[in-house]
Structure 1
Amino acid sequence: MAKTIYKLRPSDNWRIGEHESWFADMAAQGLFLKKMGIPFAKFVKGEPKKMRYRIEVNSGDGITPEQKQMYAESGWEYVTSYNLFHVFSSPEELQASELHTDPAEQAFTLEALDNKFTFNTIIMITSMLVLIGLQAAIWIPEETPTLAFVEATTINQLILTIVLLYSTYVTLQAAISIRKLRRNLIEGKPIDHHAPWKKRFRNQHIIGLLYTIIAALAASVPFIQLVKTDTQTLPETSPDLPIVRLADIENSPDYIPEEPTYFSDGVDWGNRYSFNWSPIAPLQYETSEHGLIPGEIQKYGEEYSSSLDTEVYQLQFPSLAEDLISDLIKKNHFRANKNDFIRTEHPELDILITYEEFKTKIVFAHKDNAVMYAAYYGNANTAVLIENTVEKIKLISE
């Protein structure tokens, strides 16, 4: 029984001359085409032999037994078909006459393929324009695009865009190539049956491999996020976590966490921290904490209580920090007056922005590749909040 060999095949069906040349080169190595598949072609191993291969294009009705018989009588044996392409072979020493001796006549056989690729191109470009319109409808009104990018909330749209862009490029290339081939045939220029294929074959598969890797990585992001994302009740102390704690801000021996008001899935949602991940910010924390100091009575007779919300990002690209802080301001304090956010210099930070109104104190800090946001409500002053933020940001800044 002859040995079967599978070879990665050229991906562009419409490059007729290159495929014919590839089949002939394989036969010269003792590999004879039996079937074309995706993405491999099936060969049968035998003694090396000089063979000629020709590809006939049909309108879509398939190759008929009568056509096979007619070509066989001319010295061309039917091998296999794929899509609209039908492959015939003939030993070189037989010197069989060409399937098409008139290039202009052969151009007519490519008309259906030309129309098909033109139609596909119109569909792909239309789909691409629709996608761009949908993306614009999402991104133009989006007031926090950097935050969405950092948190990878638009990764599905990115995957779809990559796939459709590449598919549109390939379809457009096919339509242009077939149109050019038909024009050449009409002008009397026959197909080059010995067209060089190795360089294009190598480049195509490098590009295809890179495209596949990028698409696979992008598609894996939501699954990685699902695995890595977690929410837990805040521990009593967390010296190794890069999060500011309410107990450190209050700095009172009487401070205690507030009793849970919403407890679900084993988590106290009033005192919890969430861990998230994205390719742009592999380390992300978000916390919400509420506490009180028993016996400390406020102006209107209520017991003193305070709260602290934080967000922490370790960025792959530190250049995103300024825009990320701008988006965090929009996200969390869109009703506040922008002029009330004060940017000041700090010897241990690259960016420090603060906001203060009554008991509300807010800090945005950036150092190297780390960004931290802390919003505190209570009696402690802003300087204490800054001090704790500086201490914690050192844990993740590089």
Structure 2
Amino acid sequence: MKKSRRSTVYRLPPCPAYDIEDTESWLSDLAEEGLFLEKDGFLFGFASFRRGEGKQRRYRLEAAPQPTGLFSDQDRPDEEAEELSRLAGWEYIANRGDFYIFATDDPQAAELNTDPQVQALALEKVRRRQRQTLFPTFFWLVIYPLFSIKGSVLRSAIYLGAPIFLLGHLLILWSIFSPLREFFHLRKLSRRLQEGLPVDHHKDWKKSARRHFTAKGVFLTLLAVWIVLVLTAWQRDTDKVDTVSLVNFKEPVPFATMADLLPQGQFTLDDMGFSNEVTLRSSWLAPSFIEFGQVGTVKNDKKTVQGGINVEYFHTVSPLLARLLAKELQRYDRRLSHYEALSTPSAAELGVDSVTGYTAIFPTLVMVKGETVLKVSFYQTSPSYTMPLEEWAPIFAQSLNR
């Protein structure tokens, strides 16, 4: 028994929604093959077709006066426009993007719009809508993310990892390029119409189809890879794969800790139920990146220092990157309401390339030496003694010479 073919067939459009000529030519060619676009046949990037006997059917795209789509009140022409089209021998079929699609099987039916100048005016409405969407697109894809990370581009790149950061920005640029490409494509077509040149209803759409599918495939592949990378990084962070409790951590770190604050001091780690962890990461921009939180007490025969330190250590790929990162770290904290500049020993006195001191809830130093950046915040809770910054700053600065 012969197996019957499905009556409904789905196809991926070989061109973007704004390409009027390719869309019309593609739909007309499929009609000759026996595939006819169904009512409201465009959904979620696919087009649905009804099988039938092949015949000549003309399709025409008309610019919609208002935005169309699932959440639009203007997802089809008004009743008067549809009635006028029916009287002219044309039937409304579907909408796609900013365009309504009409079809006719009557070879004698006059064109819906024979005046290129009028078509150009209709396209201008679409182009104006496109201009209005360019800034919101740029805002949500560029400006808003920058506000979210408070301008900490380098810090975010190191935290997220270069592959996630760079691939994410590539996808953003791609997403911005798409509406720009649509805008300029419609501008080019509009100018042709204004010169009196008609739309090409028989364009060879196959020439650009391969390029369209390749670009779409590459974008979706990159998006899938980025999502996998983000989920993997999120899972590692959630599971604290790169984080070790200081109780179990015995490796030396390339900077001073609380145990180094007093000569011949005895250090005791305080179990606070939080902090007292070290996170070791690596990035293309910073081959060594360490987050270190320590709470405890160090004492010798004369003094007792109690409190905690929070350290961010970056060994970057270049001195320039280190300097830029240090400025970014300070700029990030400067937004805090508790920010207040502190007087510190000079960079020459500390033996570093640069040093900045400030209070952002706790006294903080940001130092740069060569390719290395060290940010340390030190808070003290000793009831009888507070170690001055002039004493603890050199200890952390000198540790960068290790």
Equivalent residue for 2:17? 13
Find the aligned partners of 1:341 and 1:385 in 2 and give their Cα distance. 15
Equivalent residue for 1:87? 102
* 120-129 vs 275-284, greater mean Cα deviation: 275-284
What's the offset of the Cα at 1:81?
Answer: 1.8
Choose which of 214, 227, 245 in structure 1 pairs with 2:235.
227
Choose which of 119, 133, 141 in structure 2 pairs with 1:124.
133
Tell whether the 8 Å contact from 2:255 to 2:396 is kept in structure 1 after alignment.
Answer: no
1:340 is aligned to 2:355:
no
* 328-337 vs 22-31, greater mean Cα deviation: 328-337
Task: Rate the CA distance shift 1:322–1:39 in 2: closer, same or farther, 3 A.
Answer: same
- Normalising to structure 1: TM-score of the pair? 0.63
Find the aligned partners of 2:308 and 2:293 in 1 and give their Cα distance. 8
Equivalent residue for 1:64? 82
Find the aligned partners of 1:336 and 1:39 in 2 and give their Cα distance. 61
What's the offset of the Cα at 1:291?
Answer: 4.5
Paired amino acid for 2:268 = P
Task: Rate the CA distance shift 1:253–1:335 in 2: closer, same or farther, 3 A.
Answer: closer
Task: Rate the CA distance shift 1:282–1:226 in 2: closer, same or farther, 3 A.
Answer: farther
1:172 is aligned to 2:193:
no
Find the aligned partners of 2:109 and 2:287 in 1 and give their Cα distance. 61
Choose which of 271, 285, 288 in structure 1 pairs with 2:290.
285
Tell whether the 8 Å contact from 2:10 to 2:46 is kept in structure 1 after alignment.
Answer: yes
Q: What is the SS of the residue equivalent to 1:88?
A: strand
Equivalent residue for 1:297? 301
Tell whether the 8 Å contact from 1:151 to 1:277 is kept in structure 2 after alignment.
Answer: no
Tell whether the 8 Å contact from 1:32 to 1:45 is kept in structure 2 after alignment.
Answer: yes
Task: Rate the CA distance shift 1:46–1:339 in 2: closer, same or farther, 3 A.
Answer: farther
Find the aligned partners of 1:314 and 1:28 in 2 and give their Cα distance. 65
Choose which of 10, 33, 36 in structure 1 pairs with 2:42.
36
1:199 is aligned to 2:207:
yes
Q: What is the SS of the residue equivalent to 1:64?
A: helix
Aligned length: 348
Q: Which runs of 5+ in 1 are unaligned?
A: 345-351, 389-398
1:259 is aligned to 2:243:
no
What's the offset of the Cα at 1:246?
Answer: 3.1
What's the offset of the Cα at 1:167?
Answer: 5.5
- Identity between Structure 1 and Structure 2 (%): 15
Equivalent residue for 2:27? 23
Task: Rate the CA distance shift 1:311–1:148 in 2: closer, same or farther, 3 A.
Answer: same
Equivalent residue for 2:110? 99
What's the offset of the Cα at 1:281?
Answer: 5.9
For residues 327-377 of structure 1, give each alpha carbon's deviation from its aligned partner in whole angstroms, at most 9, with x where no partner exists. Answer: 446668964569525797xxxxxxx747699xx99864566xxx4526596
Tell whether the 8 Å contact from 1:281 to 1:314 is kept in structure 2 after alignment.
Answer: yes
Q: What is the SS of the residue equivalent to 2:190?
A: helix
CA RMSD of aligned residues (A): 5.2
Tell whether the 8 Å contact from 1:9 to 1:40 is kept in structure 2 after alignment.
Answer: yes
Paired amino acid for 1:118 = R
Q: What is the SS of the residue equivalent to 1:256?
A: strand
What's the offset of the Cα at 1:323?
Answer: 2.0
What's the offset of the Cα at 1:23?
Answer: 2.2
- 1:135-214 aligned within 5 A: 138=147, 145-151=153-159, 162=173, 165-166=176-177, 168-173=179-184, 175-184=186-195, 187=196, 189-212=197-220
Task: Rate the CA distance shift 1:165–1:133 in 2: closer, same or farther, 3 A.
Answer: closer
Equivalent residue for 1:373? 374
For residues 144-202 of structure 1, give each alpha carbon's deviation from its aligned partner in whole angstroms, at most 9, with x where no partner exists. Answer: 6533553459x8x9699658734541452354145235314xx2x33212212233333
Q: Which runs of 5+ in 2 are unaligned?
A: 66-76, 334-339, 358-363, 379-390
Task: Rate the CA distance shift 1:202–1:79 in 2: closer, same or farther, 3 A.
Answer: farther
Paired amino acid for 1:37 = L
Task: Rate the CA distance shift 1:207–1:280 in 2: closer, same or farther, 3 A.
Answer: farther
Task: Rate the CA distance shift 1:52–1:282 in 2: closer, same or farther, 3 A.
Answer: farther
1:385 is aligned to 2:389:
no
- Normalising to structure 2: TM-score of the pair? 0.62
Tell whether the 8 Å contact from 2:127 to 2:186 is kept in structure 1 after alignment.
Answer: yes
Find the aligned partners of 1:108 and 1:89 in 2 and give their Cα distance. 21
Tell whether the 8 Å contact from 2:95 to 2:101 is kept in structure 1 after alignment.
Answer: yes
What's the offset of the Cα at 1:10?
Answer: 3.8
Paired amino acid for 1:68 = R
Find the aligned partners of 1:379 and 1:150 in 2 and give their Cα distance. 25
Paired amino acid for 2:183 = L
Q: What is the SS of the residue equivalent to 1:118?
A: helix
Tell whether the 8 Å contact from 1:124 to 1:167 is kept in structure 2 after alignment.
Answer: no
